[in-house]
Amino acid sequence: MKFISVAIDGPVGAGKSTVARECAKRLGFIYCDTGALYRAVGLYCVRNGKKLEDPSEVAGCLDGINVGLSLVDGVQHVFLNGEDVSEEIRLPEMSMAASVVSAIPQVRGKLLSMQREAAEKNDVIMDGRDIGTVVLPNADVKIFLTAKPEIRAKRRYDELIKKGVETTFEDVLSDLNERDHNDSHRAVAPLKQADDAIFVDTSELDFGQSVELICGIVRERQNVL
């Protein structure tokens, strides 16, 4: 049986996770939030006082980290050594922690096999920074999802305020620009558009329009395969 794999890459705040999750639901695919895996690793390091700027220190604690994804009432939850950390990994500081640890080769190696196995056994939509270029280079559909920095920052700011997180738009935009730079300039698997990816800018699209556009691209590809 041929499974369909969809790779959605793009910068922070582009709406990859929310769009991919809804598309997976409508298409009957499995959704794999790879960013959540890196956030969980970052959370473990922060909790245990590891120096994120020291790759050897982070790499040295990987054997003690067990990260898993599971559906709970149809919603993906992230477990760190058996503990549900789905909410904690979404705090702003975990975003930067994820960006730092994701640049460490040993961390990427630990999580790579988990991501590929999901695509081998299911119709899957996977989002991240290097899905179409590194994790699933042979994905059936590749999409590079983005929006203008100010638009992405406003969306992330509204999301954080709704969750009760105290922050400012200026701080969110600053963090976003810093992470964009880190993700696109890291030595290992930097954020970039795959040569065969479809470029999608959602600056002028709302959530529903973005979902419809992505689902349409996937359905069109399904009819070809």
Q: Which two tokens stand for residue 47?
A: 């909790």
Please give the domain boundaries of the chain with CATH numbers for all domains: 5-224 (3.40.50.300)
| Helical pair 169-185 and 92-101, crossing angle rounded to 10 deg | 10
> Which residue bears the tokens 């904690």?
88
Q: Torsions phi, psi of 11, nearest 5?
A: -75, 170
| Rg of the chain on CA atoms, in Å | 17
> Which residue bears the tokens 């582009």?
14
Q: Sorting pLDDT into bands at 50, 70 and 90, what band is 225?
A: low
Over residues 71-86, the mean pLDDT reads 86
Q: pLDDT tens-digit profile of 130-161? A: 999 999 999 999 999 999 999 999 999 998 99
Task: Report yes or no on whether pTM surpasses 0.95.
Answer: no
Three-state helix/strand/coil letters over 102-157: CCCHHHHHHHHHHHHHHHHHCCEEEEECCHHHHHCCCCCEEEEEECCHHHHHHHHH
